[in-house]
Amino acid sequence: MSLMEQALDFFHTSMAHPLVMIGAIVLLLAYRHFSKRTYHLPEFPMGLFMLYFAIRFIWLLVKDASWVGAWDRWIPVAEMIVLSWAMIRLIFALFVDHILKLFGKQPLPKITRDFILLLVYAVVGFILLRTKGEVNLTGLLTTSAVLTAVIGLAAQSTLTNLFSGLTLQMERPYNIGDWIQLGDTIGQVVGITWKSTRLITREDEMIFIPNMTISQSIIKNFSKPSTRHNASLLIGIDYNIAPNKVREMMLEVVKQHPLVLHFPPPEVRVKEFGDSAVLYQIIFAHDHYAEEPRIKTEINHQLWYALKRHQIKIPFPIRDVHHAHIERRRQEKEAVHFREEAEKILSSIPLFTALSDDDRKQIAETIFLKEFGDHEIIVRQGEEGDSLYIIHNGACNVFLGSNGKEPKKIATMHEGHFFGEMSLLTGEPRSATVRAHRDTSVFEIKKEALKHLLEKNPTLSMKLAEALAARKMELSEERGKITADEATKGKLLSKIKNFFGLHA
């Protein structure tokens, strides 16, 4: 007698009382209940053990009844077969399923697992029928062969799907969790069964595709050989804008997205010259294929704001009819209103109160209005800069990083607040990162706007130094990080003169 048969006989003999059966069933149910509620207890297959205990319990109650008859021979054999299958399933779970889970590997596909278990069940079942039931296997196999042929003819499609599924598992063109494309269908593989493969689309729809269809189709796997995927966007730009300017602006936007990989670096290519626009292709890499539509949407969203800031138009093939004189009057009226609003804003900024009305008017004629989308970076800590920003609409968050740590939010600025004064007047690198908190428009004042005024009126630099010193002292009180020596007017005055190239 084999070791397996000895173990089965010992277990089978020990389960000789109905109360033992009831206790075993209660223990199994309790274990299943607690294993689903805690991660400390691994889940194991209990179904076949429950079936065995149920058959054994019923048989112990009725085996002495007069109507049992011929069942007295076959029920114990059935019990042994079910018990052996339960043991095999438990061993497979312990040494295959649990080990794969322990090492963080993908579980075996259901079709592969079921096929292996079915073969082992069949072999063990035939052995027990021969040894315990004294069945003539030659006759049984002959009958089985005829029955198999009849079933095969009646279920050709099902068998084709079965063997197609096994072929797919041997070739492994995809695994559970991979994103694949079959024809026009794109989805994530969530299950592989005897008959079909299940996909979940981005619309959260479940699709069942027969394995036979998959084995005859071209499979595109977006998760192999790696999860990195190249994506692209197409956008048409006005012919009057230089390609280098467009390329620089687009790369700046794409590189800011947190899910875009820096290697390989994003690219911008001139795709073709269309009837009304130059078509540019933006190519970038990411490793979140499931998030690709969202990534593209967010990049397009930020591109709109960047194009508007750089005064770049996206042309479209329509015919515009303008009344030139009416259009000129409208533009002149808007320009006057913009300058008046800019002058008003400048007069409210302490840094520019020392300027005369004429000086502020001159600066207002060179000021720019730029728009930023939510979370867009306006200035980045450590970057060179020579401009100041005044919030016109919206709000901005200020982030400060140090020693390579993740930048932390330290303040929120609203309409009328300004930042970048040190970069404007002394050319110092940006001291913090400023992001738009929501859709935000800012006035930008560049170095060139002040250079002519300072050259014409040298005493103005002293007034600006005084105002800048007061501003730095105000910040020192808030942050406690700027010393009085650094905020002296003399040092700031020297920096201003050096930056603007003024003679001492």
Is residue 222 within 8 A of residue 289, CB to CB? The reply is: yes
pLDDT of residue 137: 62
What is the spatial distance between Cα 5 and Cα 495, in angstroms, rounded to a whole number? 93
Q: Cα dihedral angle (417, 399, 305, 383), rounded to 10 degrees? A: 100
Q: Which of left, alpha, beta for 435 (phi over 0: left; psi -120 to 50: alpha)?
A: beta
pLDDT of residue 49: 83
Q: What angle do CA 328, 333, 337 make, to 5 degrees?
A: 150
Is residue 432 within 8 A of residue 398, CB to CB? The reply is: yes
What is the spatial distance between Cα 221 and Cα 206, in angstroms, rounded to a whole number? 18
Q: What is the mean pLDDT for each group of 10 consecutive residues in the chain (504 residues)?
A: 59 64 78 73 78 80 70 79 86 84 75 80 82 67 56 57 70 86 91 85 91 86 90 92 91 93 94 90 94 94 91 73 62 77 84 81 87 90 90 92 84 91 87 91 88 77 77 62 53 78 66
- Inter-residue long-range contacts of 110-118, CB under 8 Å, 24+ positions, other chains counted: 110/191, 110/192, 110/193, 110/194, 111/162, 111/165, 111/166, 111/169, 111/192, 111/193, 111/194, 112/166, 112/169, 112/192, 114/194, 115/166, 116/92, 117/88, 117/89, 117/92
Half-sphere exposure at residue 219, Cβ-oriented, CA atoms within 13 angstroms: 23
| 388 backbone dihedrals φ, ψ, rounded to 5° | -115, 145
What is the spatial distance between Cα 32 and Cα 44, in angstroms, rounded to a whole number? 8
**What amino acid is encoded at 84 in this protein?**
S
What is the spatial distance between Cα 389 and Cα 26, in angstroms, rounded to a whole number? 73
CA 383 to chain centre: 29
What is the spatial distance between Cα 238 and Cα 310, in angstroms, rounded to a whole number? 12
pLDDT of residue 283: 96
pLDDT of residue 487: 46
Is residue 400 within 8 A of residue 408, CB to CB? The reply is: yes
pLDDT of residue 257: 92
Is residue 43 within 8 A of residue 36, CB to CB? The reply is: yes
Please measure the distance between the N-terminal and C-terminal CA atoms of the chain and give it in whole angstroms.
108
Burial (Cβ within 10 Å: 0-12, 13-18, ≥19) of residue 281: middle
pLDDT of residue 450: 82
Is residue 47 within 8 A of residue 85, CB to CB? The reply is: no
- The tokens of 428 are what? 């110092």
* DSSP alpha helix (H) spans, 93-136: 98-102, 110-131
Determine the 3-state secondary structure of 233 from DSSP. strand
pLDDT of residue 435: 93
| 122 backbone dihedrals φ, ψ, rounded to 5° | -65, -45
Q: What angle do CA 357, 360, 362 make, to 5 degrees?
A: 110
Length of the chain: 504
Is residue 285 within 8 A of residue 228, CB to CB? The reply is: yes
Q: Which residue has the tokens 């012919």?
A: 239
- The tokens of 70 are what? 């011929």
Q: What angle do CA 49, 50, 56 make, to 5 degrees?
A: 90
Among the listed residues 22, 18, 7, 24, the one whose alpha carbon sits nearest the alpha carbon of residue 80: 7
What the chain holds in terms of domains, given with CATH numbers, is 3-154 (no CATH), 170-221 (2.30.30.60), 230-309 (3.30.70.100), 324-500 (2.60.120.10)
Q: Which residues are bridge partners to 371 per DSSP?
A: 441
Is residue 318 within 8 A of residue 331, CB to CB? The reply is: no
- The tokens of 35 are what? 């294993």
Is residue 237 within 8 A of residue 312, CB to CB? The reply is: yes
Distances (CA, A) of 244 to 161, 251, 255, 303: 55, 11, 16, 16
pLDDT of residue 484: 45
- The tokens of 124 are what? 């063990």
Quick one: which H or E segment has residue 35?
helix 18-35
Distances (CA, A) of 249 to 196, 259, 314: 48, 18, 14
